[in-house]
Structure 1
Amino acid sequence: MNSFEELLFSQEDCYVIDKNLHYKHYVPIDLSVNSKTLIHRKLETSQDYEIFLDDYLNQKGARVAYGGYLEKRNLYQRSTIFNNSNTEQRNIHIGLDLWTKAETPVLAALDGVIHSFQNNSSHGDYGPTIILKHTLNNCEFYTLYGHLTLESIALLKINQSFKKGDEIAQLGKSNVNGDYAPHLHFQIIKDIEGFRGDYPGVCSEKDLIKYKNNCPNPTLLLKI
């Protein structure tokens, strides 16, 4: 690990959704292009995915399905944001997804302030999104929380402060969260590159090294 990754790993007791959902209630899930779990499933709509995920969690006796960091997925082919004739296809996920029920509380991973927020409302995008700015050992970095409710961003203010574990939002339903089954997209970002209320959460093969370096694995912080 590099020094920044070691800094993340040194943090303890970090949660980004309802702390009552202890990590013992989590189960990994593979949504990659090579997933054996998806091989016999025809999933075209957010409702298809929601039914599939509910079945998966019930089968596993779990309440949260997690995964997706650096996962190459077919999920994004339905959206022109990621798949159009003018740009290279983006299909590699560079955050961590936590799939669970809509309206689940979303928590600040660490002490921080609101850097920015907005509703990224295009089909397949984040929907309502919050970015927090953090400082640890004089190191400044950011965490992104995507696929929230509209109410989550209605009363926020730039530089508003939150303590680690404070509720900052709730998970949105498919009609507001970019048309996905309810989940949190959680991403750690070293250099925000001037973005506000948004930052790429899916990249192309060509840009993978850049984003892998700028967006380390969130499980280093969460210890899942």
Structure 2
Amino acid sequence: MSFEEVMHIHANSFEQVIPFDPSSDSLLQLDFTDANKDLTAEILADTPVFSNYISHKLDAAGARYGIGGYNEHRTVYSRSKVFDAAIPSEEPRRLHLGTDIWGKPHTAVMAPIDGVVHSFAFNDQFGDYGATIILSHQLNGFVFYSLYGHLNLASLRGLQEGQLIKAGEVFAAFGIPHENGQWPPHLHFQLILDMGDWKGDYPGVCKFSEREKWLKNSPDPEWILGMNKFLG
């Protein structure tokens, strides 16, 4: 049985990653590709203006959260040198490997399945993850990892590697810009099959030319989130 088959078998048993009631909460799909002509370089260059852009979009749609981004080729990463190649003529990283959920600061983050803390870090560069936690999970003989980026710093306090986090347990929250890598408040949620030697960090964006390799190791977070079916 493949990992994908196992995930689909357990699809209805995963706990929510963020508080969401489909009977009363709306979702808005947000687009950060070059098809979105509203998102100008001027907006991206100014974090408060970018944050206001997201808030306005959610308020106008009556949505509690914005969601999207998996396997999305994003122009938004031009705002940070973190995603640029060391040599300017080489290909930058622009393809997103997780799902982003945009919402209010301090929104609770919960474990979808029992896990242990694999590692955590404060990746404090402009455009990076900011406060980051990675959990390790086991399911039907498969070991996999879930990464939570753009958290608040309080999420890291008292945390220890190997610490048990139970399914449904609130263990983190959305950060604000000074602690989340200078982004509008949101959660980057990513699945990872092989962590390699990474600790407290793992690429959430890859080169488009290497898309197939990276997506194979970071499958669709929707397998756990199960939220896209509620998009209007």
TM-score under structure 2 length normalisation:
0.89
Structure 2 residue 120 is the aligned partner of structure 1 residue 117: yes
> Which whole-Å deviations, capped at 9, do the CAs of 1:154-200 have from their partners, x for residues lacking one?
21011110111101111110111001000000000000111001000
SS of residue paired to 2:7: helix
Structure 2 residue 102 is the aligned partner of structure 1 residue 96: no
How many residue pairs end up in the alignment?
223
Question: 2:212, 2:19 → 1: CA distance?
Answer: 32
Question: 1:40, 1:123 → 2: CA distance?
Answer: 16
Shift of 1:3: 2.1
Shift of 1:43: 3.4
Question: 2:136, 2:24 → 1: CA distance?
Answer: 25
SS of residue paired to 2:194: coil
Which sections of structure 1, spanning at least 5 residues, go unmatched?
Answer: none
Structure 2 residue 198 is the aligned partner of structure 1 residue 195: yes
Structure 2 residue 5 is the aligned partner of structure 1 residue 3: no
Structure 1 segments of 4+ aligned residues over 3 angstroms from their partners: 19-24, 36-43
Shift of 1:55: 0.9
Question: 2:23, 2:42 → 1: CA distance?
Answer: 29
Q: Which has the higher helix share?
A: 2
- Which residue identity is paired with 1:190? L
RMSD between aligned residues? 2.0
SS of residue paired to 1:71: coil
SS of residue paired to 2:208: coil
Q: 1:23 to 1:85 in 2, by over 3 A?
A: farther
Shift of 1:38: 3.2
TM-score under structure 1 length normalisation:
0.92
Which sections of structure 2, spanning at least 5 residues, go unmatched?
Answer: 228-232
Shift of 1:31: 1.3
